[in-house]
A = this chain, B = another copy of it.
Amino acid sequence: MRSGIKQVAEHAGVSIATVSHVINNTRYVSDEIKRKVYEAMEELDYRPNSAARSLRSQKSNTIGLIVPVLPSDTSNFFFMMVAQGIQFTLKQHGYHLLLSNNTTEQIEDEQEQIKLFNSKLIDGLFIASIAEDVSYLNEIVRSNYPVVFIDRKPAGYNGDSVLADGLGGAYEAVKTLIAKGHRRIGLLTGELGITTSNERYEGYQKALADHGIPWDPSIVKVAESNFESGYEGVKALLAEHDITALFIANNVLTMGAMRYIQERRIQIPAELAVIGFDDYDWTQITSPPLTVIRQPSYEIGVKAAEIMLKRIENPSAGSKEYRLPTALIMRDSC
């Protein structure tokens, strides 16, 4: 039998109220008694039962995370890194992370997950929603706990958001390509709708505009974010159009695209200059190593967790947007 607060109280010769207060540091207890309580806890290897604690205090010390990662997607580092950053930070503050993948990319699934989390009395929710508009949160979450949006900033609900500066990153990539003399610069990007893709597209357009290059919609390819689409995407782009450079706006598409490029022995950067998105180790092992826009994925997780902890302490109104800078990592592909 595991021992509870009652056993500790008996062992220390005090009331359970006192034990509770020394555990939570929630009112003055004399040093002498404190010592006794700690000793008793030590001796009995006491661990507070968090179900009881949650039930009573309506707090679970647990925060939910919902990310859209398909099981087929053996390449999506981004959310995995974010999750790690979150978990690491939460752990240091005594919080647990409940993980859920939305594997279907259905909005109903997302809602169902949140309902499940609700019955676990989560203290907060991190979500990379697949929806553009999350007003459904008004009914499901009802401001019972803070919501922090990661990577994407959907409309319709009040919550902080933590994202990378996708516009700036895309802008820098395209500007770099332009500086190298390219004018026919293709874009391969994920499906529009979520802010992430929208912003990168915008950055691309803005860079072209700022440098007086007309925007040619026929050399931008919008594709589902998976390896296959990356492969087919460059293939189509190269078959039909005379581009000399390509900016690929996410890491999964980049990987698929590189497969096609390496298969056809297309010379980089001689025949085609490329800049990819996200800086993971594998971008260094292609031939040549890829120039990429780095997003601080782990740091996004850390930041999101910090924001969440603050919100839990101080649920003041008003939401804020946190932008983490991207960086151009120059290698040999352009």
- Contacting residue for A100 out of B77, B85, B87, CB 8 A: B87
Q: Which residues of chain A in 11-49 are interfacial with respect to chain B, using CB atoms and an 8 Å cutoff?
A: 47-49
Q: How many chain A residues touch B (Cβ–Cβ < 8 Å)?
A: 54
Q: In the bound complex, what is the Cα–Cα distance between A332 and B51 (angstroms)?
A: 55
Q: Which residue of B lies closest to A76 (CB)?
A: B80
A256 cross-chain contacts in B, Cβ below 8 A: 281
Contact flags (1/0) for A255-292 with B, using CB distance below 8 Å? 11011001000000000000000001110111111000
Whether A285 contacts B284 by the Cβ 8 Å rule is no
Is A149 an interface residue when CB atoms closer than 8 A count as contact? no
A50 within 8 A of B: yes
Contact of A75 with B116 in the complex, beta carbons under 8 Å: no
Tallying the copies of this chain within the complex gives 2
Asked if A98 lies at the interface with its beta carbon under 8 angstroms from chain B, I say yes
Binds B, one of A117-125, A129-137, A177-185, A195-203: A117-125
CB of A227 within 8 Å of the partner chain: yes
With a cutoff of 8 Å between Cβ atoms, the chain B residues found around residue A259 in the complex are 281, 284-285, 289
**Chain A residues near B (Cβ < 8 Å):** 2, 47-52, 54-55, 60, 62, 69, 71, 74-75, 77, 80-81, 83-85, 87-88, 91, 96-101, 103, 115-116, 118-121, 144, 227, 255-256, 258-259, 262, 280-282, 284-289, 298
Besides A84-B103, A91-B100, A285-B286, 7 more A-B contacts (Cβ < 8 Å) are A48-B119, A71-B85, A98-B98, A262-B285, A262-B289, A285-B285, A287-B287
